[in-house]
């Protein structure tokens, strides 16, 4: 029997829980932060539970934290002492590894210490164990959720926890002159799907305006054709590798096999998006990748996702479907042309 803290995008926890129930039919559940964070208990031991989750990773589950200890919150330095003792007792798991400390809290938690203060204390303990405290690219993560009266503590790798960011909340720094925040979605997709956008030759961006995704692809060195009846940001005119077609995607034609990457982040209905993408399949070479957002415009998102994947299956093989941190009322698909 094991316990876990599960996190989804705000408002989508119920869908993550529904997916998990299909993996763990006897699962117990308790809400910790409305619509976002919940606790579960499953009959399976850690390795079996992780194997089930990773073999069919839930679309709406953003982060997974094991619960190995539950410490009562006293609201004093005793809390930090208790956390330090947990780290010391797990010293063999940390020695010789880079380790990050992630603290999150639910609203109105009585735990009095900030993430920075908690990290400073536990980093000192980690150094006693022979570990190397870090922020980026850790080999192990100590995850702590400060609840209403309990600290939930667990240790795991970034792969086991589905992310190396606290709670899976991926943060990118906004750049001067950034065209749109939509760029963050494609950056996160690149990380989550283990892609190297710079490895692609030529991309087709459908519904490109104002050009956030186009800009990232150009920065990665690709040749890009951007299709949208609306205008792209004027700064993109500086890129000679960019071709802009101010048309609807339904009205364009390309050479067969011209592109090895298609991206689409359109605010269209899912079924309209599917038709557009499928009509453009001849322009993609065999094995071309596609990164597509699916807008969840209806009350049954899981059914919408199943319908979209079933339609795209005629020409594409799904690699992964995920609601990313930077997705809102949508998910992102990573597919490859058959």
Give how many domains the chain has, as a whole number.
2
86 or 180: which carries more pLDDT confidence? 86
Task: Show Cβ contacts of residue 238 under 8 Å, excluding neighbours closer than 6 positions.
Answer: none
The one catalytic residue among 183, 295, 322, 337: 295
Whether residues 26 and 142 fall in one domain: yes
Whether residues 329 and 187 fall in one domain: yes
Answer yes or no: pTM beyond 0.85.
yes
Structure tokens at 135: 């922020």
Supply the range of the domain harboring residue 36: 2-168
Q: What is the pLDDT of residue 310?
A: 95
Q: Is 177 inside any structural domain?
A: no
pLDDT in tens, 106-133: 999 999 999 999 999 999 999 999 999 9
Q: Is-catalytic flag, 255?
A: no
Task: Please give the average per-residue pLDDT across 152-179, as a whole number.
Answer: 86
- Indicate which CATH number applies to the domain containing 286: 3.40.50.150
Q: Is the pLDDT at 177 greater than 90, yes or no?
A: no
Whether residues 127 and 264 fall in one domain: no
Closest CA to 142 of 74, 94, 110: 94
Whether residues 204 and 155 fall in one domain: no
Domain boundary among 168, 203, 225: 168
Where residue 181 falls among pLDDT bands split at 50, 70, 90?
confident
Q: Is the pLDDT at 300 greater than 80, yes or no?
A: yes
Q: Are 147 and 106 in contact (CB under 8 A)?
A: yes
Question: How far apart are the C-alpha atoms of 71 and 337, rounded to whole Å?
Answer: 49
Q: What is the pLDDT of residue 18?
A: 95
Provide the mean pLDDT of the chain. Answer: 93
Domain boundary among 114, 145, 168: 168
pLDDT in tens, 127-146: 999 999 999 899 999 999 99
Structure tokens at 64: 């997974």
Q: What is the pLDDT of residue 178?
A: 64
172 or 21: which carries more pLDDT confidence? 21
First to last CA, the chain: 41
Whether residues 58 and 194 fall in one domain: no
Core vs surface per residue 105-137: b (16+ CB within 10 A) or e: bbeebebebeeeebbebbbebbeebebebbeee
Q: Is 175 inside any structural domain?
A: no
Task: Please give the average per-residue pLDDT across 276-285, as a whole number.
Answer: 95
Q: Is the pLDDT at 174 greater than 80, yes or no?
A: no
């Amino acid at each position: 029997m094991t316990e876990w803290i599960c996190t989804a995008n705000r408002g989508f926890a119920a869908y993550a829980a529904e997916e998990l129930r299909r993996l763990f039919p006897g699962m117990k559940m308790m809400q910790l932060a409305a619509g976002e964070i919940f606790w579960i208990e499953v009959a399976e031991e850690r390795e079996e539970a992780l194997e089930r989750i990773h073999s069919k990773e839930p679309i709406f589950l953003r982060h997974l934290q094991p619960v190995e200890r539950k410490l009562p919150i006293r609201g004093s330095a005793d809390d930090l002492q208790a956390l330090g003792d947990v780290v010391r007792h797990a010293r063999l798991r940390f020695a010789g590894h880079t380790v990050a400390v992630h603290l999150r809290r639910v609203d109105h938690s009585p735990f009095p210490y900030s993430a920075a203060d908690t990290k400073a204390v536990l980093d000192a303990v980690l150094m006693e164990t022979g570990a190397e405290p870090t922020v980026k690219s850790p080999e192990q993560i100590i995850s702590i959720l400060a609840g209403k009266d309990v600290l939930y503590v667990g240790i795991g790798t970034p792969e086991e926890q589905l992310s190396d960011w606290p709670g899976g909340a991926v943060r990118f720094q906004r750049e001067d002159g950034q065209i749109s925040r939509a760029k963050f979605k494609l950056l996160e997709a690149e990380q989550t799907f283990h892609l190297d956008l710079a490895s692609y030759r030529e991309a087709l961006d459908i519904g490109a305006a104002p050009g956030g995704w186009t800009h990232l692809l150009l920065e990665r060195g690709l040749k890009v054709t951007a299709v949208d009846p609306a205008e792209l940001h004027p700064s993109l005119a500086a890129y000679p590798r960019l071709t802009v077609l101010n048309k609807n995607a339904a009205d364009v034609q390309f050479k067969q096999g011209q592109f090895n990457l298609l991206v689409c982040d359109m605010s269209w209905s899912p079924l309209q998006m599917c038709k557009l993408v499928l009509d453009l399949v001849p322009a993609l070479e065999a094995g071309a990748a596609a990164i597509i957002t699916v807008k969840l415009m209806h009350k049954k998102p899981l059914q919408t996702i199943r319908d979209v994947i079933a339609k795209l299956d005629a020409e594409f093989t799904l690699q992964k479907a995920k609601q990313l941190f930077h997705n809102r009322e949508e998910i992102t698909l990573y597919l490859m042309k058959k």
